[in-house]
Structure 1
């Protein structure tokens, strides 16, 4: 979509910036990476009252233009580099009306860059509720920029904000917040003359950040360094002087424009709730109870939609087998592609429930409390409190979680977090776990309302967290670093979840899961169908000749067809390959069919389900299509006559998938974040060894 104006959203964390972005753009948005870095960027489009289209760029949250992480460094790079493809024509600064003093520091810095600015005064409803009175007109006059009071959560004031964007080209450049030149007058003048700059604050920022700014040439950066030495410039002292001057400006502004009620000694509602939710004992008990409820819901609430999806796929497969002519293309479509997809799409209800819970916990502010509570525990095993964010995020997906470790300044803490995050149970493992648990764990309640299957799933998630913590403790003694980590985090106030945001988050995550997993599964299903439908030499011809002999004439037609299909599958390319690796995996309780699924799912874990669906469809009866769970439940060991998927085998498989690094995307992102193949190789090796050992122990203890 072609835009007439580009608008950047800038603000502190927890000011409602992402909520405003969603309200302005609706579903008309896309997520990618900023050029050259693995930082998420969100871009959307909004139609303005005058008919023009605005491109909205949601920049990472930051407290200051002086970055402490790669995410925060993006903000100044985008705002200052006019050659940046995302350089904005207008900046909307989102201020939390209940916490203006802290928010205005960032505003004063951005405003002094002389980019046209609009202030979105968010959470006005909460400010009024707290008795805070803001003279918006005087506030706007003193700042010299348009100020629009809004409530992003309630979509109030959004049309007025769009109108203000429409008049952006008529906005006069704001006055300086402070006398920037007084901080380092000679250096600012020298840099301005050297680089032909007309903005003193931009020159000062170059003095602070020139070593990390990619839009400066090496020659320019070296020249700025020379000028710093020539004028005896001390960056930290200059930042301190600037911050003091800015807060003097902010204090004067707030004194004239904001009146707050006398609440000395009053305790906020959030603090009262935190006394319970972050209690050193009850806090952990409540968190565990929430996890149990979440996983109980994943099983109990998803039963009916999953049955409907499974029945729909069976009906489609049956119909296509009867409608389409018999042949390889029909078999490829029905027994390969559709069977493979059905094994994953059937789990969308469970994944949607998981993401809905995670989104609600984040939206209410509770997830921030979890990271706060886990800080002390993390430090004991050699991690930073900030490591909790990637670990909790690992419930959804390890890829963005590993990318989020950029906020951890300490090298050792960051590397340990990267190495253990893939151990946390992600959404790709959920289809594998729920399928196997449903096969061997009875669907019944214990202690009145605890479902056994839900308890088993809860156990796997808790086990993954414990495993990650134990492995982190081991890495604590392996990796050496003298740096000290620290954890500073602002706890947002508790709020009701925004249900439209929750719905959108569920939609986006499910869509991403289906598209990402679906593309891999289709590719794997096609290759697997070919390998399972054809064999080396004339093996298939010999099998056909064998079953044409007279002794097989009396065998039931359905049974005969099943026996032929089973023998052909065993003699196919896939079967031959499975038998080659079977001696290695037999001590784990796995047969050659499971072995094929283990290999194919190294691309992505959820491919295991699609692989089993394809294998058992190729091995099945075209006139009696069943869901993959039913087929696996009926599968028998040809030598013992016992079920293939016993309790021991199922839990052995779950132990393998709990530890094995079966995700090509995770390996790629670890390489990208560490800039070396050494770390993903170490990670792959230790996780594979752990997977084999855990699976071996589980099988021999439970059989």
Structure 2
């Protein structure tokens, strides 16, 4: 049985999906668009399997954004291979009157439909008493009360789905008075496209321009009908909505009662909002939340990261000692294991970052951040809805750019898409943490503020500041495309659903390990080959030159000098040396130059590159990459290579540089133009170079 899950934003739809499917779910994109789609499966009481698709949140079947348009396409497309057998409409039980609009629209399509009254606990605490039996009779549809946080009502919902499969009763075909004058036209459309009822015909007529499955000839047919009948889509939509609300008003009056209660989640929410939405304390609280997150990323992740690093080093040493000195052994230990280690090392930090973002969304605090930031955002040519993509950009720019589809104004959507890559994403996190650990002391300020956490916060705020300034510049140059309004659902504060948080962490870490990880390991192997071989006998000559120059040194003392000379003479060394004159003003040497080149595949590759470069030929050396980088000495100055000036210069470069080819591709898909991603590539990399040069010049 195939099901679709539909609901208003913040109705707990995704939590319900997680309760039903657990980890039996996968994430993909809807065909032809970059909007994310979640599908999963679960067992019904008779042990048969049901498949369910979690559709994007929508307020009605009259879409205002691309996400909502996807919902309409999914339901109306006759060729949709995932066309549902039944629909679960999830609504917030404490907002019955507003949420029932979507239910009535979906029911009018003729799908077998179940109404899921979610967050029933909050409705009851707020004083709502709902007669579900009477509500089911009035709606002529099964009604189930659930609490997706605790799992209450899930088994009953599964039973209702099974009952629906056995008795596929078709909902009543309610003829709206609004469309009485258009009966003949709608019947003509219905017959031409063999549609289930005239409400389908009505939605075809309203949305034909945006329905992806309609051919150009179909759209011309509708255009002619529109002219012939003087079709006023907006007026009819407004009339339909008012007619439905008159019906809803009567249903709610007959089936619900409101009692005043001493404990009311909404009144408690209002009290908390007096602090968290305050013009001064609100911003202060947000900064403290960010500082807490970055402190946790450093302090809590440090021990497991050290275990993983030391484990990787021991594993490499074990294989070197127990396998023959052969090409395959070197490839395995210095190429593949180094790459895998560089991926796995940062799982604790990635997990913590995504976990905290999930908690902010679960509690309802992220919505408050959007509201609080709206006034500031508008001064930079954006609005409050831009906050979600910008904050999501701290995780990954790709889904963040997809999230801009919720922004109705085309100009604000485009600006947000263009500046999101400036937000420091999780791919930059390994670079920041390695460099900060090298150049910033692991000490506390005033006993409460961690120096390294403050430095990491500064890097994220730098990215945000530059994104805002870039948005301001773009808003001046891009043409004006009309005003829009910032309307957002205000959920009550809730304790996070830990199951949802764990599933989010699992999905994101899995994506990082298997998507980014594959790229990192492949590039690590390629880099190892480039760093292990050179033109002709150049590596042998480099070794001979070192032995002649230092005849009195022991073999143990000669080994690091020989390894360094061989690396410099290798293909990778030649590449880095060719780049060195360009990057020398930034404080970078040829080794960093190699990592800059490899990072254009994915920024995370920086650490893997360093793992390969500093791990080549180090038999018996079980130091971690960070320890080796910390002990690296600049031969010209005699001081550590990674000074404060070099460390911050490198971080600033990575903060602004456009080095993610996946982001480049997504921007092209979203804008349908090459000029925007190419503009980002040129502008951001020039900006990165200049900012890095200024940073190094000041700090040196």
TM-score band w.r.t. shorter chain: over 0.9
Which residue in 1 is equivalent to 2:365?
A: 366
Which residue in 1 is equivalent to 2:611?
A: 613
Which residue in 2 is equivalent to 1:25?
A: 21
Could you tell me whether the CA contact under 8 Å between 1:188 and 1:200 is conserved in 2?
A: yes
Q: Distance in 1 between matches of 2:535 and 2:88?
A: 65
* 1:166 matches 2:162: yes
Which residue in 1 is equivalent to 2:675?
A: 678
1:151 counterpart SS class: coil
Could you tell me whether the CA contact under 8 Å between 1:191 and 1:227 is conserved in 2?
A: no
Which residue in 2 is equivalent to 1:44?
A: 40
User: Per-residue deviation at 1:488?
Assistant: 1.1
Q: 2:101 aligns with which of 86, 99, 105?
A: 105
Q: Distance in 2 between matches of 1:343 and 1:523?
A: 12
Which residue in 2 is equivalent to 1:347?
A: 346
Could you tell me whether the CA contact under 8 Å between 2:438 and 2:626 is conserved in 1?
A: yes
Q: 1:656 aligns with which of 653, 658, 665?
A: 653
Q: Distance in 1 between matches of 2:85 and 2:312?
A: 50
After superposing the two structures, state which structure 1 stretch, 176-185 or 323-332, moved more: 176-185
Could you tell me whether the CA contact under 8 Å between 1:108 and 1:177 is conserved in 2?
A: no
Q: 1:189 aligns with which of 187, 190, 213?
A: 187
Which residue in 1 is equivalent to 2:423?
A: 424
* 1:238 matches 2:208: no
* 1:134 matches 2:130: yes
Could you tell me whether the CA contact under 8 Å between 2:386 and 2:404 is conserved in 1?
A: yes
After superposing the two structures, state which structure 1 stretch, 109-118 or 377-386, moved more: 377-386
Q: Distance in 2 between matches of 1:536 and 1:183?
A: 82
Q: Distance in 2 between matches of 1:482 and 1:225?
A: 25
User: Per-residue deviation at 1:17?
Assistant: 0.5
What is the TM-score of this pair, normalised by structure 1? 0.97
After superposing the two structures, state which structure 1 stretch, 478-487 or 141-150, moved more: 478-487
User: Per-residue deviation at 1:184?
Assistant: 2.8
User: Per-residue deviation at 1:604?
Assistant: 0.8
Equivalent positions of 1:530-569 (< 5 A) are 530-546=529-545, 549=548, 552-569=550-567
Could you tell me whether the CA contact under 8 Å between 2:126 and 2:260 is conserved in 1?
A: no
Could you tell me whether the CA contact under 8 Å between 2:127 and 2:260 is conserved in 1?
A: no
Q: Distance in 1 between matches of 2:305 and 2:214?
A: 55
Could you tell me whether the CA contact under 8 Å between 2:126 and 2:261 is conserved in 1?
A: no
2:28 counterpart SS class: strand
Equivalent positions of 1:267-666 (< 5 A) are 268-546=267-545, 549=548, 552-618=550-616, 620-666=617-663
Could you tell me whether the CA contact under 8 Å between 2:109 and 2:199 is conserved in 1?
A: yes
2:309 counterpart SS class: helix
Q: Distance in 2 between matches of 1:436 and 1:462?
A: 17
After superposition, the C-alpha distances for 1:617-649 in whole angstroms (9 at most, x for unaligned) are: 11x521113110001001112233221111100
Q: Structure 2: which 5+ runs fail to align?
A: none
User: Per-residue deviation at 1:517?
Assistant: 2.0
After superposition, the C-alpha distances for 1:663-683 in whole angstroms (9 at most, x for unaligned) are: 111001001111111100000
The alignment yields a C-alpha RMSD, in angstroms, of 1.6
1:91 counterpart SS class: strand
Could you tell me whether the CA contact under 8 Å between 1:177 and 1:246 is conserved in 2?
A: no
- How many pairs were matched up? 697
Could you tell me whether the CA contact under 8 Å between 1:7 and 1:90 is conserved in 2?
A: yes
Could you tell me whether the CA contact under 8 Å between 1:314 and 1:626 is conserved in 2?
A: yes
Q: 2:88 aligns with which of 88, 92, 114?
A: 92
User: Per-residue deviation at 1:684?
Assistant: 0.8
2:6 counterpart SS class: strand
User: Per-residue deviation at 1:265?
Assistant: 14
Q: Distance in 2 between matches of 1:405 and 1:121?
A: 29
After superposition, the C-alpha distances for 1:250-291 in whole angstroms (9 at most, x for unaligned) are: 011111111112579997221221111111111001001111
Q: Distance in 2 between matches of 1:503 and 1:194?
A: 49
After superposing the two structures, state which structure 1 stretch, 666-675 or 559-568, moved more: 559-568
Q: Distance in 2 between matches of 1:641 and 1:197?
A: 79
Q: Distance in 2 between matches of 1:171 and 1:271?
A: 44
Which residue in 1 is equivalent to 2:30?
A: 34
User: Per-residue deviation at 1:534?
Assistant: 0.5
User: Per-residue deviation at 1:547?
Assistant: 5.0
After superposition, the C-alpha distances for 1:163-191 in whole angstroms (9 at most, x for unaligned) are: 11112230321124552542632322332
Which residue in 1 is equivalent to 2:689?
A: 692
What is the TM-score of this pair, normalised by structure 2? 0.97
Equivalent positions of 1:137-148 (< 5 A) are 137-148=133-144
After superposing the two structures, state which structure 1 stretch, 177-186 or 101-110, moved more: 177-186
